Amino acid sequence: MPFINQLQHWARTRPQHPAVIVGADSLSFEQLSQAAAALHRHEGADGVHVIDTPTSTSLAVEFCAAVAGTGVAAVVDASWPDTLKAGLEAKVGDWARDREIPPAPEPGFTDGPPDTTFMLGLSSGTSGLPKAFTRSRESWRESFVRSIAYFGVGPDDVTLAPGPLAASMNLYALGESLFAGGTFVALPSFSPDAAIGAIKNDGVTRLVLVPAVLGLLAQRGLDTDQGPGAVRAIVCAGAALPPAIAALARRWAPEATIQQYYGASELGFVAASAAPLPDNGTAVGAAFPGVELAILDADGEPTIQGEPGSICVRSSLVSDGYAWGDDGLAFTALDGDWHTVHDQGFLDGDGILNVLGRASDMIVTSGANVYPQLVERALESSEDAGTVVVTGVADPLRGQRVVAGILAGQMPIEQFLTDCRARAKQLPAAARPTQYFALSAAPVTGGGKLSRAQLRDWIMEGDARAQRLA
């Protein structure tokens, strides 16, 4: 566990079926199994392996080899600075020396015991040494069983995850596809044209991606009159799916089912939906199968319906906690076996979870709590107008003040700005942006997720990608 035995099964029963495709390179199940088994024999069955390889079939081989037996993988974003990678390797080495060595596994290229650690999951490396959490083999195996059933993944599916393979949601998509016996497709580097090319050339049936990337892909497809090919399912994760991007995706792929899930690397799946949701830009779905949901306040007490608080889960899919870097601000174990990463949200009357963002994204201005995602949705007038990103910057009088970055779509930026200001008048005074900035690029993480902290840094540092508007 989590997927090596399944990989071996598919290598025996459908050896020539493509398992992994990256650009022009591909590996069948037999080829992947043989290459990973050979590397596993060379590197040993119980080591801790830092994988610093760009998205490629080689990365897939290294990952499979590393997690077999009682091995542990730490997959590094190849774009991180060398100094950061060196510090991380040293930290992994310290952890490996101090950890309790599990009993020797069965000989050969097989899964290790269910309760043993197979992965050191890494947080973003944009500032300082990444935190690392540990995951058991059983947590992913159980997740695979549930997600394959929920999303209807089968051996005939071809799944494209266009983001970097080092990102946790894409590594999971790889494992899920191998477990189900399908084909996993990745891109050596992302561009909307490369993704559309893969969809056409590789017969992609499923997309797994973050909302920002879905928007880029759908817009490019519409602009160039290139349809979705065989895509029948779009699975969005990483953030709530904005109504404007959902509408754009439906225009591009009207026959595809749009599914979404909310989760966190440390928590696993939290909530999901394969049906239409309230068109508010915060709804993500009901509790994922086998997961209990609660919204708790700062004292650990349940909030009333519709009242924001920390999103907490109780399930067998959560990680085992941090190997290092636990500052008490992210993954936290609470009384009653509840866990949270301090994302904020609320449950509506139908039990639908609405996600408002990280507690660290919340803006406290003149004593009022402002959730940037709600302001963003209020200012975005249509799918064509553009994208709004809201953050808070330091203010000597108010503590923080609300500012907005706008990335124009088909509407001229002057008109987009005018529309945003008009719509802002409908917001409470504390939530109205005090300044607007024209963005030349979306502030996103390496995995493609929107980063309000990055926008704040651009503004405070005078970065040319955020130009103040009069």
- Identify the pLDDT of residue 330: 82
Pairing of strands 353-358, 339-347: antiparallel
Question: Which pLDDT score, from 0 to 100, does residue 124 have?
Answer: 60
Q: Provide long-range contacts, Cβ within 8 A and 24+ apart, for 417-425.
A: 417/469, 419/379, 419/381, 419/385, 420/379, 420/381, 420/388, 423/378, 423/379, 423/381, 424/378, 424/379
Beta-ladder partners of 405:
389, 437
Detail the DSSP E strand segments found in 300-410.
309-314, 322-324, 332-333, 339-347, 353-358, 363-365, 368-370, 386-395, 399-408
- Tell me the three state secondary structure of residue 285: strand
Cis peptide before 155 (omega within 30 of 0): no
Give the contacts of 95 (CB within 8 A, at least 6 positions apart).
48, 120, 132, 323, 324
The answer to whether the CB of 6 falls within 8 A of the CB of 181 is: yes
List of domains in the chain:
4-287 (3.40.50.12780), 288-361 (2.30.38.10), 364-468 (3.30.300.30)
Chain centroid, CA 341 distance in Å: 14
What does the pLDDT profile of the chain (470 residues) look like in tens digits? 589 999 999 999 999 999 999 999 999 999 999 999 999 988 766 789 999 999 999 999 999 999 999 999 999 988 888 988 999 999 999 999 988 877 767 778 999 999 999 999 987 644 578 889 999 999 999 999 999 999 999 999 999 999 999 989 999 999 999 999 999 999 999 999 999 999 999 999 999 998 889 999 999 999 999 999 999 999 999 877 888 888 899 999 999 999 999 998 999 999 999 877 777 778 899 999 999 999 999 888 999 999 999 999 999 999 999 999 887 778 899 988 999 999 999 999 999 999 988 888 889 888 888 889 889 988 986 666 788 999 999 988 888 999 999 998 888 999 999 999 999 998 988 899 999 999 999 898 777 778 898 999 999 999 999 999 97
Q: What pLDDT sits at residue 329?
A: 73
What is the H or E stretch that residue 116 is in? none
**Residue-level pLDDT at 125:** 43
AA identity, residue 222? L
Q: Give the pLDDT score at 96.
A: 92
User: Which residues does 371 contact at the CB level (< 8 Å), separation at least 6?
Assistant: 308, 344, 356, 357, 361, 362, 363
Please give the distance of CA 218 from its chain centroid, rounded to a whole number: 19
| Tokens linked to 366 | 């003149």
The SS3 assignment for 340 reads strand
- Look up residue 434 and give its DSSP letter: S
Strands, E assignment, 105-155: 117-122, 132-136
**How open is the CA angle 357-361-363, to the nearest 5 degrees?**
120
